[in-house]
Amino acid sequence: MPHTTSGLHSMIGNIWPLLLHLSTIVTVLLAVILISQILRTPRKPAVSMGWILVIVFVPLIGIPLYLAFGERKLKIVTRIAGKAQIHLPESPEAHPHPVHSLLTSLGISPSSENNAVQFHQNGQAAWQALSDLLGSARESIDIAIFILGDDPVGKAVLSRLTEKAAQGVQVRLLLDGVGSFKTAQSDLNPLIRNGGEVARFIPVLHRPLRGRTNLRNHRKMVIVDQKKVWTGGRNLAVEYLGPHCPADCWIDLSFCQQGPVISTYRTIFEADWQFAVEGPAPAVYRMSPTSSCGDSRIQVVPSGPDVADDPIYAAFLTACYAAEKRILIVTPYFIPNSGIHEALKLASLRGVDVELILPARSNHRLADIARNRYLRELVKVGARVWLFPDKMVHAKALVFDRTLAMAGSANMDYRSLFLNCEVMSCFYSNRDVGWLAHWIEVLRDQSAPYHPAKAGALKEMIEGLILLGGYEL
Cross-strand partners of 36: none
**Residue 388 is which amino acid?**
F
Tally of CB atoms within 10 A around 89: 18
CA separation, residue 404 to residues 195, 228, 322, 400 (Å): 42, 23, 10, 5
Question: Hey, CA dihedral for 439, 443, 449, 454, is it positive or negative?
Answer: negative
State residue 48's pLDDT score: 73
Helices (H), 120-168: 123-135, 152-166
* Alpha-carbon span 472 to 468, nearest angstrom: 9
Q: Which of 298, 344, 303, 341 is nearest to 322 (CA)?
A: 344
Number of neighbouring beta carbons within 10 Å of residue 48: 16
Q: For residues 313 and 385, give the distance between their C-alpha atoms in angstroms, rounded to a whole number.
A: 21
3-state secondary structure of 77: helix
Do 248 and 391 touch, CB atoms closer than 8 A?
A: yes
- 3-class secondary-structure state, position 393: strand
Q: Which of 370, 375, 333 minimizes the C-alpha distance to 354?
A: 375
Q: Are 55 and 34 in contact (CB under 8 A)?
A: yes
The reported pLDDT for the residue numbered 460 is: 77
The total of other beta-carbon atoms located within 10 Å of residue 303's CB is 28
Q: How many helices (H) and strands (E) does the chain have?
A: 15, 17
Pairing of strands 397-400, 221-224: unpaired
pLDDT of residue 44: 64
Q: So what's the pLDDT on residue 458? A: 79
Percent of the chain as helix, strand, coil, to the nearest 5? 45, 20, 35
How confident is the model at residue 311, as a pLDDT? 95
Contact in structure between 306 and 313 (CB atoms under 8 Å): no
What's the CA angle centered on 19, arms 16 and 25, to 5 degrees?
A: 145
- The number of beta carbons lying within 10 Å of the beta carbon of residue 79 is 12
Model confidence, pTM:
0.85
Query: What would the DSSP string read from start to end of 185-218?
Result: HHHHHHHHHTT-EEEEES-SS--TTS--TT--B-
Output the CA–CA distances (angstroms, integers) from residue 15 to 8, 9, 23, 274, 321, in the order listed. 11, 10, 12, 46, 63
- Judge whether 175 and 217 are in contact, CB under 8 Å: no
Give the residue from 409, 183, 426 showing the smallest Cα distance to 301.
426
**Using only C-alpha atoms, what is the Rg of the chain?**
24
Cα angle 386-391-392, degrees, rounded to a multiple of 5: 80
* Pair 115, 260: CB distance under 8 Å: yes
Residue 239: phi, psi to the nearest 5? -75, -10
The pLDDT of residue 464 is 75
Partnered with residue 407 across adjacent β-strands are: 397, 425
Mean pLDDT, contiguous 10-residue spans, the chain (473 residues): 53 63 72 71 67 74 66 54 46 69 92 94 95 97 96 96 97 92 91 96 63 79 96 96 85 96 92 84 52 86 88 96 97 94 97 98 91 95 96 97 97 90 96 97 97 81 72 49
Task: Report which of 241, 255, 232, 218 is spatially closest to residue 151, judged by C-alpha positions.
Answer: 241
